[in-house]
Amino acid sequence: MDQFVNRLCDPRLLVRFAVLLAAAVVVFMLCWTLAYLLLPAELLRGRTGGAVLAGGDQVASTFMVEMLRIFLVNVVLATLVVVAANLLRTRRGVPMGYWSVMTLVAVAAVVTGTNSFSIQAGPPGKIAPSFQLLGNPGPYELAAYTLAATATYGIGRWQLAGRWPRSTAPRLPTQPVSRRQLFLGLAVAFLTLLVMAAWEASRILATVP
């Protein structure tokens, strides 16, 4: 476990990203399989934060508006749920944004396994684990969240100490931040989200009469 934590906190962005992405893939596949086997179809339809932000099953009238809507939803999630969470670290020094990513991955896996997408692009019923998912924008959006989390590793300001309910969060000493890693990582992450938003918008408009 210590070795795993050390890799998550490695000074090199590519190492942090690769390790967190590998963990995300494992969590996604596990939750997808369990959701497909154990949960009812459409369990989370319209009930996730992303679905609420996106307006449920409402579709914009034009490609540009739909693309911008999807992109803004992803930017809000990436910024407020992932990046902002990195201001706080766990007692072991792991940014909380990493846990946010794992939560988003788990929810996305359950949505996939139970076919709880707001807008259906395929036949009804649950979706079995398959590599066909790589032909959809969802996995790459999750990878972008992962990159945003690992790129902003150095922004931590407080770290949890002690055990609940007596936990405290003392301020961390000032640490050097690699601005190159931060800005390059965020730029690639948000550019990926923009491209995926365009891809998803085109798919949605192609399936809606």
pLDDT in tens, 78-134: 999 999 999 999 989 999 999 999 999 999 999 999 988 876 656 778 899 999 999
Is the pLDDT assigned to residue 184 strictly greater than 90? yes
pLDDT value of residue 50? 55
Domain that holds residue 15: 2-207
Residue type, 158: W
* Cβ–Cβ under 8 Å, residues 61 and 75: no
The phi, psi pair for 15, rounded to 5°, reads -70, -50
* Nearest by Cα to 132 from 32, 18, 50: 32
Q: Residues 188-197: pLDDT tens digits?
A: 999 999 999 9
- Quickly count: other Cβ atoms within 10 Å of residue 33's Cβ: 14
Residue 195 CB coordination number (10 Å) = 16
Q: pTM (2 decimals)?
A: 0.90
pLDDT score for 60: 62
What is the phi/psi pair of residue 171, to 5°?
-70, 140
**What is the pLDDT confidence band of residue 58, given thresholds at 50, 70 and 90?**
low
- Give ∠ CA 18-79-165 in degrees, rounded to 5: 85
- How many distinct structural domains can be found in the chain? 1
Residue 59, pLDDT > 90, answer no
Q: Decide: helix, strand or coil at residue 45.
A: coil
Query: Which pLDDT score, from 0 to 100, does residue 46 have?
Result: 62
Reduced to 3 states (helix: H, G, I; strand: E, B; else coil), residue 147 is helix
Tens of pLDDT, residue by residue over 27-36, are: 999 999 999 9
Q: Are 149 and 189 in contact (CB under 8 A)?
A: no
pLDDT in tens, 130-171: 999 999 999 999 999 999 999 999 999 999 888 777 778 888
